[in-house]
Amino acid sequence: MTAQTAQARDLATVIGLEVHVQLETDTKIFCGCSTEPADEPNSRTCPVCLGLPGALPVLNEAAVEAAVKVGKAIDADIPVETRFHRKNYYYPDLPKDFQITQYDAPICQDGRLEFSVEGEDRAVAIRRAHLEEDPGSLQHVGGDIDTADYTLVDYNRAGTPLMEIVTEPDFRSPGEVRAFLAKLEEVLEYLGVFDATRDGSLRVDANLSMVDADAVADDGAIDGSTLESANRTEVKNISSHKGAEQALAYEQSRQKNAIQRGADVAQETRHWDESKGVTLSMRTKEEEKDYRYFREADLPPLRVADWKKRIAIPELPAARRERFREAYGLSREAADKLTSTKQVADFFEEVAEAFDPGLAATWVADELLGELNYRDMHVTDVEGRLDEVTRLVELVATDEITAKNAHETVLRGMLDGGEDPDTIVEREGLGKTGDDEVADAVRDAIEANPDAVADFHAGEDGALNFLVGQVMQSTGGSADPGTVNELLREALAGD
């Protein structure tokens, strides 16, 4: 193929994901050690998670319950019986030099997750999601993995329950991947089985290949042989939504350029270097990995046939969004924003119950989220101060300050200066001016501006606006413009 014709080819991107998420349980998946992070290396360990000779795993059913919750949320099949296998490979962070994982009877199969990207609804099929144990972590001292003087092993993380979620190759762009990951995290957080703030709680491996655009059907389907024949790369070391989008965008253009140059795309594993913003071929002497899977006899199969029925999950974002629209009469956009995380939704409902749902929607969806977004902050960053936001809404709801001041001075001051709303209102003198004071200001304005009064009586509309402006100015903006308008008309009428 000449470069000319290659350039003419239209290419489509195909991406599939393997997402590892740490499940939030009090104790590890096969022993009683705490999963809380610890400063002291190897302080959260026991014979089991250290893989000492003779120690045996015992399944923590809380991890299975968390996995079943995920399964319900992604509408997956839960088997009658779930069981564990050993995945054998040598690595210094792996205490037993095998990992206990699931192979032929994963806890979830055939699920799907819906999400929207740029206003368009998408769904991605989830082939399987299974439980496994996290390895320990390595610390390379004096350099990186290739140049370190020596390497230390910390087994505190070893045995943390992990769920590996494997999608079908249904993604067609890096942007879709980012939106999917955000949605997945949202669902996991709604379920209370995931903590996004924990270091290493999300790890993504992505397979990307380019195929002829002609091979993609209108409904997005691609036939198996096309996928088989396309060389794909597996990109590892992705740990965020943004990182996933960047890594895959890089990989997409790298492959596209290669194909358009007429070069081959090697089937290989590549490492995402976040600081440099590039994917690098991993130097690996190993041929195709053979993990020699076989049944873990130390863990009897677990019957989970009725767990889907037995285990309840909270209302999920999609259902909650519909309910918000219905119950509170919200627009789709507002409902979307207010259900973006469980915390936002919970907070909105709290405020809506105490005050007016419309006011609550404006204050949570527009004012609060808008200001947070502007500062690149999230609701989690003001988690401990939501009662202050509630107080701010209360000040508006009870007419103590104007909406304008509440937003521009108080809310911004709260976020930038860290003060509570009452402190700001007092310091800035924003309390709505009393009626007497407004009446005084109205009288002063009329006395001080006889020309404007004459113009008003001559029928010039602009004169009243001018006078309102004068009153607002002298009251420092704390008077209610409607009230001022009314008082002025009354005073001028009797003039």
Partner 1 sequence: MAAENPPGDGRLVPDDFDDDHAAFLTVQRVAGADDGPLDGATVAVKDNISTADIRTTCGSAMLADYVPPYDATVVERLKTAGATVVGKTNMDEFGMGTTTETSAFGPTDNPTAPGRVPGGSSGGSAAAVAAGQVDYALGSDTGGSIRCPAAFCGVVGIKPTYGLVSRYGLVAYANSLEQIGPIARDVAGAAALLDAIAGPDEHDATTRHDTREDLDVDGHPADATSYADAAGGGIDGLSVGVVTDLVEGADEAVVERFEAALDDLRAAGATVHEVSLPSVETAVQAYYVIAMSEASSNLARFDGVRYGQSGGYDGDWNESFATAREAGFGEEVKRRVLLGTYALSAGYHDKYYRQAQDARAWLKQDFDEAFETADVLASPTMPVPPFELGESLDDPLRMYLADANTVPVNLANLPAISVPAGETDRGPAALQLIGPAFGEERLVRAGSALE
Contact call for residue 142 and partner 1 (CB under 8 A): no
Contact call for residue 104 and partner 1 (CB under 8 A): no
In the stretch 344-383, what mask flags binding to partner 1 with x, by CB under 8 A?
A: ----------------------------------------
- State in angstroms the smallest separation of the CB of 54 from partner 1: 4
Q: Which CB atom, from 56 or from 377, has the smaller least distance to partner 1?
A: 56
Question: Is the Cβ–Cβ distance between 38 and 233 less than 8 Å?
Answer: no
Give residue for tokens 């800035």.
428
Distance in angstroms (rounded) separating the CA atoms of residues 199 and 152: 19
Instruction: Report the alpha-carbon angle 370-374-378, nearest 5.
Output: 75
Q: Which CB atom, from 290 or from 495, has the smaller least distance to partner 1?
A: 290
Token representation of residue 220 = 């997005």
- State in angstroms the smallest separation of the CB of 100 from partner 1: 11
- State in angstroms the smallest separation of the CB of 84 from partner 1: 10
Contact call for residue 144 and partner 1 (CB under 8 A): no
Q: Which CB atom, from 258 or from 302, has the smaller least distance to partner 1?
A: 302
Token representation of residue 1 = 């193929």
Distance in angstroms (rounded) separating the CA atoms of residues 65 and 249: 36
174: three-class secondary structure by DSSP: helix
38: CB partners within 8 A, 6+ apart: 44, 156
| Segment interacting with partner 1, rule: CB under 8 A, options 83-91, 250-258, 360-368, 471-479 | 83-91
Question: Is the Cβ–Cβ distance between 472 and 479 less than 8 Å?
Answer: yes
Instruction: Find the binding residues for partner 1 in span 269-328 (CB under 8 A).
Output: 290, 292-295, 297-300, 302-303
- State in angstroms the smallest separation of the CB of 278 from partner 1: 24
Instruction: Find the binding residues for partner 1 in span 40-59 (CB under 8 A).
Output: 47, 51-59
Question: Is the Cβ–Cβ distance between 71 and 129 less than 8 Å?
Answer: yes
Q: Which CB atom, from 158 or from 211, has the smaller least distance to partner 1?
A: 158
- State in angstroms the smallest separation of the CB of 88 from partner 1: 5
Contact call for residue 97 and partner 1 (CB under 8 A): yes
- State in angstroms the smallest separation of the CB of 18 from partner 1: 20
> What does the buried/exposed string (b/e) look like for 10-42 if buried means 16 or more CB atoms within 10 Å of the residue's CB?
ebbbbbbbbbbbbbbbebbbbbebebeeeeeee
Q: Which of 134, 69, 67, 137 is nearest to 100 (CA)?
A: 134
Contact call for residue 150 and partner 1 (CB under 8 A): yes
- State in angstroms the smallest separation of the CB of 146 from partner 1: 10
- State in angstroms the smallest separation of the CB of 58 from partner 1: 5
- State in angstroms the smallest separation of the CB of 86 from partner 1: 5
Contact call for residue 96 and partner 1 (CB under 8 A): yes
- State in angstroms the smallest separation of the CB of 91 from partner 1: 7
Q: What is the DSSP letter of 215?
A: G
Q: Which of 91, 263, 310, 370 binds partner 1 (CB under 8 A)?
A: 91
Residues that contact partner 1, how many (by CB under 8 A): 32
- State in angstroms the smallest separation of the CB of 307 from partner 1: 14
Distance in angstroms (rounded) separating the CA atoms of residues 286 and 301: 33
User: Could you tell me how many helices (H) and strands (E) the chain has, helices first?
Assistant: 19, 15
Instruction: Report the alpha-carbon angle 377-380-386, nearest 5.
Output: 100
- State in angstroms the smallest separation of the CB of 145 from partner 1: 10
Q: Which CB atom, from 140 or from 325, has the smaller least distance to partner 1?
A: 140
362: CB partners within 8 A, 6+ apart: none
As a whole number of Å, the CA-based R_g of the chain is: 30
In the stretch 152-191, what mask flags binding to partner 1 with x, by CB under 8 A?
A: -x--------------------------------------
Distance in angstroms (rounded) separating the CA atoms of residues 182 and 163: 16
Q: Which residues pair with 120 in a beta bridge?
A: 117
Q: Which of 81, 181, 174, 80 is nearest to 126 (CA)?
A: 181
Q: Which CB atom, from 150 or from 225, has the smaller least distance to partner 1?
A: 150
In the stretch 4-43, what mask flags binding to partner 1 with x, by CB under 8 A?
A: ----------------------------------------
The per-residue DSSP string of 24-91 comes to --SB-SSSS-B-S--SSTT-S--TTTTT-TT------HHHHHHHHHHHHHTT-B--SEE--EEEE---
Contact call for residue 141 and partner 1 (CB under 8 A): no
280: three-class secondary structure by DSSP: strand
Q: Which CB atom, from 55 or from 125, has the smaller least distance to partner 1?
A: 55
Token representation of residue 207 = 């397979």
Helix (H) / strand (E) element for 283: namely none
Q: Which CB atom, from 53 or from 482, has the smaller least distance to partner 1?
A: 53
Interface residues toward partner 1, by CB under 8 A: 47, 51-59, 86, 88, 90-92, 95-98, 150, 153, 290, 292-295, 297-300, 302-303
